[in-house]
Structure 1
Amino acid sequence: MNIHHLELFYYVAKHRGVSAAARHIPYGIQQPAISAQIIQLEDSLGITLFQRRPFELTPEGRELFTHIEPFFTGLPKLADRLRGGREIRLRIGAPAAIQQNYLPRILKAMRRRFARLEFSLLTGSQSEFEACLLADELDIAVTSVFGKPAPGLRQHELLSLPLALMVPEKSRIKSPQDLWKQDRIDEPLICVDSADALCRCFQHELQRRKIEWFPSLELASLDLVAEYAAQGFGIGLVLDQPDHRPPPGTRRLSLIDFPRLTYVAMWPGKPTPMIESFLQGAQGMAVELGNLKP
């Protein structure tokens, strides 16, 4: 049996599915590649390890997982002991936009203090990050939040930003009130995943105002939301970010009377020196962003 195939099967079995495994494997690998290599493992054994829909391990799959789980689960602690207990790896959860725009600077500064720093990154939502932190699959997460964090987690508020609507420059909508006064809002709403804290915060306030306006198109990132709004596919729900200018051909309407979206750093237990260093970098960047003018 190929040890790499066994590792992939371990993640699939642990997280109950190929797509979930792809989000948790600490290196880049796409779902089709995972599926293909699991099939190779099954072919080499001449058995089926799990049912795909709904996910369920077969008896043979459960036996294999029981055998390999202690090995793969114990590898991080073994590596730490071999290093003499030195903390040089940080597992970070953050939305793709934060990973792209802000984390490189924070991590580069951290490497001046922790020269051998290694890190892994995971994308996801607030609830996914909370579950990973509690399962000791992440060390810290930076995320937007809606509601209280899960019990057992600590958090530090970094920044709060106003919600905004992105409309085509030639749109007849000049202010959010032009929408709220409509008996029925016909303009398509473009947003990120409806489970994201941004959408939940927006929809909660709409419900409080007894306004119905549900997403017509859900996209993977705020940059895509802005781009599709710029192309005239609807009105985008975004953030009034001081370091981001609206795409050409659009206007940004700040929802100043809506609750702001809060970003926090979240971690379990007492912060380690590496987490404290990360928090210092994140807080410093948040202060810079807060001092910028939109």
Structure 2
Amino acid sequence: MNVHHLELFYYVAKFGGITAAVRSMPYGIQQPSVSAQICRLEKDLGVTLFIRRPFKLTPEGEMLYERIQPFFSQLPDLAGEIRQEGSLHLKLGACPSVLRHHLPGLMLAMKARKPGLRISLKEIQMDEIAEHLVKQIADISVGAVLGAFPPPLRVDELLRVPLALLVPEDFPCTTWKQVMARHKRKDGSLDLPLIAPPVQSVITRRFREGLTTAGLIWETEVEVGNFDVIRDYVKHGFGVGMSVVIPGVQASGGLRQIPIPAFAPVQVVAVYLREPKPIVAWFLRELKGYVKQLAEVKTAGVR
């Protein structure tokens, strides 16, 4: 059975005839077209569904109408519910640092202003961003990135965070220049054990670019995928950690950061479809306002 034919029959049965249905249907269609398609439905079923004049459903027509009426009668309400769901449901992808440090407070503030708001969160990697957005797994993604994105996506830069070394509080150096003077060998290598994320990480890639530009060699001795683990290993004396200076994040006890101004910073962006839903546009405005406040924070902490 053709679903459109069933829809036309629903309106004919509901309004008591083809002429009345044409006048009352939510979209324009000519009476001869309705008659022809109803005849096709009857031919496919091999039965007569209603008496034309005076209008009356046959037993077969009554059976069909009883079965399809619940579905077609609920379509207007269903469309409204779907639109309402879309207007109050934000699917957000973000890197672990953003999920941990920045989104909880922002989301609570947004939910307080719009109690029906529902936010689905997903930890996302840089190479997953485009696919998740195009497939509508996420409405918007926030995180550190390198490189460009395909045309359907729009990229808004939020902030740039400097690279840094994470060191124990009693580490003898306080600046990158002092680290170079004290620990750089003649061949350009550094004699400090380095604790860093995997090589595909955005921060590690940016860090490696800086080393190459400066003619330095620094091999990773401990590779871990979580910055909390990097922090723990630095605390336990396994070496110095790769890090970034995150505005508004307080220092962890026993550790401090040494910024590396000679290296290019990491770019943190929001990526979304070029025609964003209203809720995405609202979130983006709130996010940019939050980032603006962060930029005014003078105290930088440890990641």
Does the C-alpha gap of structure 1 residues 137 and 172 become closer, same or farther in structure 2, counting only changes over 3 Å?
A: same
Secondary structure in 2 matching 1:83: helix
For the residues of structure 1 that align with 2:195 and 2:151, how far apart are their CA atoms? Answer: 32
For the residues of structure 1 that align with 2:122 and 2:293, how far apart are their CA atoms? Answer: 25
Q: Which residue is 1:131 aligned to?
A: 131
Q: TM-score, normalised by structure 2?
A: 0.65
Q: What RMSD over aligned residues (CA atoms) do the two structures have, in Å?
A: 2.3
Does the C-alpha gap of structure 1 residues 81 and 193 become closer, same or farther in structure 2, counting only changes over 3 Å?
A: farther
Does the C-alpha gap of structure 1 residues 222 and 80 become closer, same or farther in structure 2, counting only changes over 3 Å?
A: farther
Q: What is the identity, as a one-letter code, of the residue corresponding to 2:257?
A: R
1:220 Cα deviation after fit:
3.3
Q: Is 2:237 aligned against 1:239?
A: no
For the residues of structure 2 that align with 1:226 and 1:214, how far apart are their CA atoms? Answer: 18
Secondary structure in 2 matching 1:137: coil
Equivalent residues in 2 for 1:112-127, closer than 5 Å: 112-127=112-127
Is the CA contact 1:230–1:248 (under 8 Å) kept in the aligned structure 2? no
Q: Which residue is 1:72 aligned to?
A: none
Identity of aligned residues (%): 28
Q: Which stretch shifts more, 224-233 or 243-252?
A: 243-252
For the residues of structure 1 that align with 2:115 and 2:172, how far apart are their CA atoms? Answer: 55
Q: Is 2:239 aligned against 1:257?
A: no
Equivalent residues in 2 for 1:158-197, closer than 5 Å: 158-177=158-177, 178-179=179-180, 181-182=184-185, 183=187, 184-197=189-202
Q: What is the identity, as a one-letter code, of the residue corresponding to 1:181?
A: K
Q: Which residue is 1:94 aligned to?
A: 94
Q: What is the identity, as a one-letter code, of the residue corresponding to 1:92?
A: L
Is the CA contact 1:194–1:215 (under 8 Å) kept in the aligned structure 2? no
Q: Which residue is 1:157 aligned to?
A: 157
1:268 Cα deviation after fit:
1.4
Does the C-alpha gap of structure 1 residues 80 and 127 become closer, same or farther in structure 2, counting only changes over 3 Å?
A: farther
Secondary structure in 2 matching 1:85: helix
Q: Which residue is 2:36 aligned to?
A: none
Indicate which of 81, 88, 93 corresponds to 1:83: 81
For the residues of structure 2 that align with 1:181 and 1:237, how far apart are their CA atoms? Answer: 17
1:275 Cα deviation after fit:
0.6
Equivalent residues in 2 for 1:1-294, closer than 5 Å: 81=79, 83-86=81-84, 87=86, 88-177=88-177, 178-179=179-180, 181-182=184-185, 183=187, 184-294=189-299
Q: What is the identity, as a one-letter code, of the residue corresponding to 1:83?
A: E
Is the CA contact 1:227–1:247 (under 8 Å) kept in the aligned structure 2? no
Does the C-alpha gap of structure 1 residues 166 and 89 become closer, same or farther in structure 2, counting only changes over 3 Å?
A: same
1:246 Cα deviation after fit:
3.4
Secondary structure in 2 matching 1:111: helix
Q: Decide which structure has the larger Cα Rg and report it.
A: 2
Does the C-alpha gap of structure 1 residues 269 and 171 become closer, same or farther in structure 2, counting only changes over 3 Å?
A: same
Deviations 1:244-291 (A, max 9, x none): 343333331111121111111110121211011111111111111111
Does the C-alpha gap of structure 1 residues 277 and 109 become closer, same or farther in structure 2, counting only changes over 3 Å?
A: farther
For the residues of structure 2 that align with 1:168 and 1:104, how far apart are their CA atoms? Answer: 28
Deviations 1:154-178 (A, max 9, x none): 0111111111101223334453333
Is the CA contact 2:210–2:262 (under 8 Å) kept in the aligned structure 1? no
1:202 Cα deviation after fit:
0.8
Secondary structure in 1 matching 2:83: coil
Is the CA contact 1:193–1:220 (under 8 Å) kept in the aligned structure 2? yes
Unaligned segments of structure 2, at least 5 residues? 1-76
For the residues of structure 1 that align with 2:120 and 2:205, how far apart are their CA atoms? Answer: 28
Unaligned segments of structure 1, at least 5 residues? 1-78
Q: Which residue is 2:24 aligned to?
A: none
Secondary structure in 2 matching 1:284: helix
